[in-house]
Structure 1
Amino acid sequence: MTTAAPSKRVCVIGAGPSGIAASKALHERDFSFDCFERRSRAGGLWAVADGDIQASYPSLECNTSKRRTEFSDYPMPQAFPPYPHNTQMAAYFNAYIDHFGFRDHITFNTSVEHAARAAERGWEVQLSTGGTRQYDAVVVANGHHREPRWPSPPLPGEFSGRQMHAHDYVGPDGFEGRSVVVLGMGNSAMDIAVELSGVAGNVYLASRRGAHIVPKFALGRPIDSFNTALPLPWSVKRAFFSLIVRGTIGRPEDVGLPKPDHRLGEAHPTVSQRITERVRAGAVTPKPNIESFAGSRVRFTDGSEVVADAVVYCTGYNVSFPFLDADVFSAVDNRVDLFHQVFPPGVANLAFIGLVQPFGALMPIAEAQAQWVADQLAGDYRLPTIEVMRGQIRHERAVRERQFLASPRHTMEIDFYAYLRGLRAERRRGHKSSVTA
């Protein structure tokens, strides 16, 4: 480790979980840094509502258990339930900031409008407040749930009712007695369909393909507690979890949900403890994909139709970095070509934190990435050559394409423990290189 305080000035974009992890890693190394957050408080999507900025729906709960989600050096309170509510998650992140003492490095109600390469490999950062600041490095932690993705091309026909994305869903008020179509089979779709089923007249859950539903609990324990750090083949883990899921919640098709066209583990898991109960109760009616609209009528691909008052699109998000020029870095069909999902080859002093979709919790991943970035900025770690980085990116993409369905949803999918093992190995390799160089 270096003993002198690092001289680089660093800009961190975003104060969600990933930006908090980055800020803490920089703070404990005595970096001079600023973290800019467009909202009035920290927490990202866990700080659900903030004025006119809506990050998520008010009933949102964590879908990974608290002991698998917490940062390694700051446990969540014992009083928190196994799967904390969004208000508890936001409180945890703010307590983390204050415990480690870096709140004065965060500037709220300020967004980064543009970050451009400056002379001598530095960065010129323009802020929404009108100022411009110079930095030696930029760490991007703006998350990947900012820009809603809609069906493309748009669904045929005209719908006379209300259409909204899950990003703008703020709860069941206003849906009382209504007929609602929820499009999607991910976590948001399940949460929203279950919540609306308590007040709406009819709830239809439409999807292009089936999904494996994973319960939050199995055998009285959070289901992610069964995931082991042992380097077992993914096929073994998949078989084990398939048995647990089958024994606790059954197969989706057993309750009328569409049969998945893939094996468990080939797509990001959909975690829900209640969706099968609501389908069995007749409160949520499964439907295939939407084919078209005609006034208030929604037609599905099996030829059936329903009259609906609203459609809620739970169709994911586009990964975007509007503050970066496309020739510096951009996502293509939600694919981000980064060395171990962090460093872009050939772009000096730029790093990304949290651009992963793990089979597990994000926070431990972001923490490990942040420590790695701090190593690199402090000179304790040396990146390999551009050719080596690009080769590793191609290898990881090939592995991902073999393991997961081809979909914009899975371009950042990782196996939690395998990724952390790879990161630790790369940090050891790069540390040896920096010491001997």
Structure 2
Amino acid sequence: MTPTLPRTAVIGAGISGLTAGKMLKDYGVPYTTFETSDRIGGNWAFGNPNGRSSAYRSLHIDTSRQRLCFRDFPMPDHYPSFPHHTDVKEYLDAYADTFGLLENIEFGKGVEHAAHRDGGGWEITDQAGNQRDFDLLVVANGHHWNPRLPDFPGTFTGTAFHSHHYVDPHQPMELTGKRILVVGLGNSAADITVELSSRALQNEVTLSTRSSAWIVPKYIAGRPGDTLWRTSPHLPLSWQRKALQLVAPAMGVDPTKYGLPAPNHKLFEAHPTQSVELPLRLGSGDVTPKPNAERLDGDTVHFVDGTAGQFDVIVYATGYDITFPFFDAEFLSAPGNRIRLYKRMFVPGLDDAVFIGFAQAIPTLFPFVECQSRLLASYAVGRYALPPVTEMERVIDVDQRLYTGHCTDSARHTQQVDFFHYEHDMRTRELPAGLKRAGSRSPWARLASV
């Protein structure tokens, strides 16, 4: 029986959806990409009308362009080492134009509901109310758009918003001459704190953190720090982390040097924060460091060290939840950002859905989703087959221990992945094993008789 290639639906035209579409097109797989917005880029489309972009006006990516780019589409040499969000969007536009990806994207037709049919396949309802049937579903709706907020006791009577809604010191509100508390110590928290603490704005800025973070420089010896190292797939990650921890003190990564609380983890047991300016602002007195908030009381915030402060504004830079609004909650969800995915791609027992980009990849997501999309395309044309469900469950546990066993137990690190280990595993083990499992059979052979 000659297999039929699956009619494939891709949810989202951000970096994950674009890369998935590019690989499907390369392999000749018919597909349609459903996008809620009127443009590509997802999170990197500043001011995206679909409300999903978390980019702020001053945002520069924290990964160097050398590490950021797709392998089959390098970033231009004239780009800066750490591109601005407009550079990243321009790069994605060029990617889509070069490979003819726009013709398969239906803009303004995001997926409202995806219903799994008995016996396989999907009924897709888009935001215009149209219903269509597909054989394979690619879930690429991203995981940095649904803000997660802390649940502090009490009530704050000032203005509070998540960093997802931050644009600049004048949006979503005028942030001049204010008493501002920024909660969190990730990269966004550091950037926003630095920007709002400019003396020209006459703000009083306080930075509060629960678990603290190691602060690493973007440049080391005059070069982007992430170009000076890469983890080796031939050495245990624990050994490599210990080696980096030995040399770290010389780089000034300890946040206690700048008045912040000591981290509740060792270096690289959680995402470090990359910032050149934050230590300077803390050391110059432009930012007041505080530990975690304990409770809210009107315009007063009480901290766990017994101190308190009065504030006009709280900016919560406290991360995001993985959300699938198009699935019925009882069908599939990710409570606490936990979802069991084989190779971060497949739900065991659900062989006609593939998840792309649902990982916190170090050093960056771009080459990670390119690697995943290569396996996706192989799967779609029958050159890769999944192992039995019991084996998938076993491997999920093994991979989870490898990638997250050393991490702090938090929603931010449930999907941690080291790209270099992951890519080596996929290229040298998983794809060859999947090809051997596939043999002459295709997961879509049943379609030929439909």
Aligned to 1:86: 85
1 CA distance for matches of 2:164 and 2:253? 30
1 CA distance for matches of 2:120 and 2:283? 60
Aligned to 1:193: 193
Letter in 1 for 2:178: R
The answer (yes or no) to whether the contact 1:5–1:29 under 8 Å persists in 2 is: no
Aligned to 2:39: 41
Within 5 Å, which residues of 2 pair with 1:288-299? 288-299=291-302
Question: Which of 18, 21, 31 is residue 20 of structure 1 equivalent to?
Answer: 18
The answer (yes or no) to whether the contact 2:182–2:193 under 8 Å persists in 1 is: yes
Secondary structure of the residue that 1:158 maps to in structure 2?
Answer: strand
1 CA distance for matches of 2:98 and 2:122? 30
Cα pair distance change 1:273/1:351, threshold 3 Å: same
Letter in 2 for 1:28: D
TM-score (norm 1): 0.95
Cα pair distance change 1:67/1:164, threshold 3 Å: same
Aligned to 1:431: 435
Aligned to 1:180: 180
Distance apart, 1:397 and its partner CA: 2.5
Question: Which of 158, 163, 174 is residue 161 of structure 1 equivalent to?
Answer: 158
Within 5 Å, which residues of 2 pair with 1:372-411? 372-411=375-414
1 CA distance for matches of 2:251 and 2:408? 25
Matched, 1:286 2:289: yes
The answer (yes or no) to whether the contact 1:5–1:31 under 8 Å persists in 2 is: no
2 CA distance for matches of 1:348 and 1:119? 13
The answer (yes or no) to whether the contact 2:36–2:50 under 8 Å persists in 1 is: no
1 CA distance for matches of 2:419 and 2:202? 37
Distance apart, 1:168 and its partner CA: 0.8
Aligned to 1:124: 123
Cα pair distance change 1:296/1:398, threshold 3 Å: same
Pick which of 43-52 and 174-183 moved more: 43-52
Secondary structure of the residue that 2:439 maps to in structure 1?
Answer: helix
Cα pair distance change 1:263/1:55, threshold 3 Å: same
Within 5 Å, which residues of 2 pair with 1:38-437? 38-51=36-49, 53=51, 55-56=53-54, 57-151=56-150, 154-173=151-170, 174-198=174-198, 199-230=201-232, 231-424=234-427, 425-435=429-439
Distance apart, 1:187 and its partner CA: 1.1
The answer (yes or no) to whether the contact 2:231–2:237 under 8 Å persists in 1 is: no
The sequence identity of aligned pairs, in percent, is 40
The answer (yes or no) to whether the contact 2:207–2:289 under 8 Å persists in 1 is: yes
Distance apart, 1:331 and its partner CA: 1.0
The answer (yes or no) to whether the contact 2:42–2:52 under 8 Å persists in 1 is: no
1 CA distance for matches of 2:424 and 2:177? 51
Pick which of 130-139 and 326-335 moved more: 326-335
1 CA distance for matches of 2:386 and 2:177? 58
Distance apart, 1:219 and its partner CA: 0.8
What is the aligned-residue RMSD (CA, Å)?
1.7
Distance apart, 1:161 and its partner CA: 0.8
Letter in 1 for 2:181: V
Secondary structure of the residue that 1:191 maps to in structure 2?
Answer: helix
Distance apart, 1:232 and its partner CA: 2.7
Pick which of 223-232 and 318-327 moved more: 223-232
2 CA distance for matches of 1:242 and 1:213? 13
The answer (yes or no) to whether the contact 1:292–1:300 under 8 Å persists in 2 is: yes
1 CA distance for matches of 2:4 and 2:28? 7
Distance apart, 1:433 and its partner CA: 2.0
Distance apart, 1:162 and its partner CA: 0.5
The answer (yes or no) to whether the contact 2:52–2:145 under 8 Å persists in 1 is: no
1 CA distance for matches of 2:76 and 2:131? 40
Structure 2, unmatched stretches of 5+, are 442-450
Aligned to 1:30: 28
Cα pair distance change 1:31/1:181, threshold 3 Å: same
Pick which of 165-174 and 224-233 moved more: 224-233
Distance apart, 1:97 and its partner CA: 0.5
The answer (yes or no) to whether the contact 1:45–1:55 under 8 Å persists in 2 is: yes
2 CA distance for matches of 1:252 and 1:55? 29
Distance apart, 1:259 and its partner CA: 1.1
Write out per-residue CA displacement over residues 291-332 of structure 1, whole angstroms, 9 at most, x where no aligned residue.
122221111111111111100011111111111123432213
The answer (yes or no) to whether the contact 1:117–1:124 under 8 Å persists in 2 is: yes
Write out per-residue CA displacement over residues 51-92 of structure 1, whole angstroms, 9 at most, x where no aligned residue.
362512222211111111100011111111111111110110
The answer (yes or no) to whether the contact 2:231–2:240 under 8 Å persists in 1 is: no
Distance apart, 1:223 and its partner CA: 1.0
- The size of the alignment, in residue pairs, is 432
1 CA distance for matches of 2:181 and 2:292? 11
Letter in 1 for 2:313: A
